[in-house]
């Protein structure tokens, strides 16, 4: 895949994987899907939004999702986030519930997490696109290699970083990044997914937000203002 919208700050990390036959095949397949009239979320202009808002040298926390929301108007390129004016989805509602319990922060009136992204929270999905109404429809088409390369670049960095992995999918994706477990300089927080089906199995009460900030402060990095 080649895409002029890939942020310049990430090109060095992604060039190798973008030039592979698999990535070129992904780009061709996506163009064919669009030509066939398939509705794809988010719009192409927002596929790289998470990378655009959070350059590699600014990443303090990685929150890894699976694929974009597949309902109209929900996805805008950031995992778990929705644009202003869109109803807060159930998983994000549970994230806000845990945020309140963990940090005493009142539930925000919106679901837009761009404020987190601008502070260094990389809100990355493993797939950056999805067909309308078809959850997981763009999985295993090639996105995983690209987003995995982005994660690997963060894991290889000398900057201590927090990786928040909610659910089996995120944990499996992170397990494919050897440097993440071998360097010892990063904090990896694992729990159940915040979806209504699993939040009570270990997500609620896991205190990821305060634990992330404690780690960042202990390593000389500015903590995240989770109210943003």
pLDDT in tens, the chain (228 residues): 656 678 999 999 999 999 899 999 999 999 999 999 999 999 999 999 999 999 999 999 999 999 999 999 999 999 999 999 999 999 999 999 999 999 999 999 999 999 999 999 999 999 999 999 999 999 999 999 999 999 999 999 999 999 999 999 999 999 888 777 666 889 999 999 999 999 999 999 999 999 999 999 999 999 999 997
DSSP the chain: ---TTS-HHHHHHHHHHHTSHHHHHHHHHHHHHHHTT--EES-GGGTTHHHHHS-GGG--EEEEESS---STTT-SSSTT---TTSPPPHHHHHHHHHHHHHH-PPPPSS---HHHHHHTEEEEESSS-EETTBTTTTTTSSHHHHHHHHHHHHHHSSS--EEEEEHHHHHHHHHT-HHHHHSS-SEEEEE--SSTTTGGGTTTT--HHHHHHHHHHHTT-PPP-TT-
Single pTM value for the model: 0.95
The residue extents of the domains of the chain are 8-219
Point out the catalytic residue in the list 67, 84, 102, 225. Answer: 67
Residues 206/177, Cβ–Cβ less than 8 Å: no
Any catalytic annotation for residue 67?
yes
Homologous superfamily of domain range 8-219: Uracil-DNA glycosylase-like domain (3.40.470.10)
């Amino acid at each position: 895949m080649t895409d002029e919208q890939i942020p310049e700050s990430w090109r060095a990390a992604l060039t190798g994987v973008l030039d592979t036959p698999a990535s070129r095949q992904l780009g061709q397949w996506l163009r064919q899907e669009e030509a066939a009239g398939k509705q794809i979320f988010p719009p192409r202009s927002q596929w790289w939004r998470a990378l655009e808002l959070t350059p590699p040298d600014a990443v303090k926390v990685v929150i890894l999702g699976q694929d974009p929301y597949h309902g109209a108007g929900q996805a805008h390129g950031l995992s778990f986030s929705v644009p202003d004016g869109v109803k807060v989805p159930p998983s994000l509602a549970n994230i806000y519930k845990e945020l309140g319990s963990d940090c005493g922060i009142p539930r925000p009136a919106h679901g837009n997490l761009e404020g987190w992204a601008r502070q260094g929270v990389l809100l990355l999905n493993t797939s950056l696109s999805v067909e309308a109404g078809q959850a997981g429809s763009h999985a295993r088409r090639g996105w995983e290699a690209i987003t995995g390369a982005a994660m690997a670049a963060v894991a290889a960095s000398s900057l201590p970083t927090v990786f928040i992995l909610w659910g089996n999918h995120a944990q499996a994706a992170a397990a494919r990044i050897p440097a993440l477990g071998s360097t010892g300089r990063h904090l990896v927080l694992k729990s159940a997914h915040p979806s209504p089906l699993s939040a009570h199995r270990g997500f609620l009460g896991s205190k990821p937000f305060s634990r992330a900030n404690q780690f960042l402060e202990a390593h000389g990095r500015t903590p995240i203002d989770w109210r943003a």
